[in-house]
Amino acid sequence: MKQAKWLLLALLVVMLAACGGASATAVMPQVPAASGAAVAEGALNLPASVDVQTVAQIQGRDDVLLLDVREPWEYEEGHIPNVTLIPMNDIPARLQEIPTDKTVIITCRSGNRSGQVAAFLRQNGFTNVHNMEGGILDWEKAGFAVDR
């Protein structure tokens, strides 16, 4: 089991995809998004992917965690207020930081990396994770606040 985690971590470091960019093109393991995926009891009943309007409506709730999986330099250029940063390649080593008793909305630049991370988390037993479609690009286009 420990070897598998190290192997996965090594693969993720090598495969860090630049969400919407051209610098890296590898992909995290993909799992088809199950419609009506199981969610924790008492949790919001959201689809596997959610739009920025939905995220804006629920972002202040105590039972919701927004997770940004971009690199620190991207985060510094602009991020959703009160989002938690865990870069994509750090996710396997930091799984214990991702709550299982909250709705977790994952975001990145355009929705690519966040979709990959959501699929990875589902493969690792997380049942209440959702990809924010369009990432920070769509968030800004919709006129929602961005901290810089």
Query: Are the beta carbons of 107 and 84 closer than 8 angstroms?
Result: no
Name the β-bridge partners of 131. Answer: 49, 106
**CA 1 from centre of chain:** 24
Annotation marks residue 19 as catalytic: no
d(CA 82, CA 135) in angstroms, rounded, equals 15
d(CA 1, CA 72) in angstroms, rounded, equals 30
Q: Which of 19, 67, 91, 108 is catalytic?
A: 108
How many C-beta neighbours within 10 Å does residue 75 have? 17
Known catalytic residues are 108
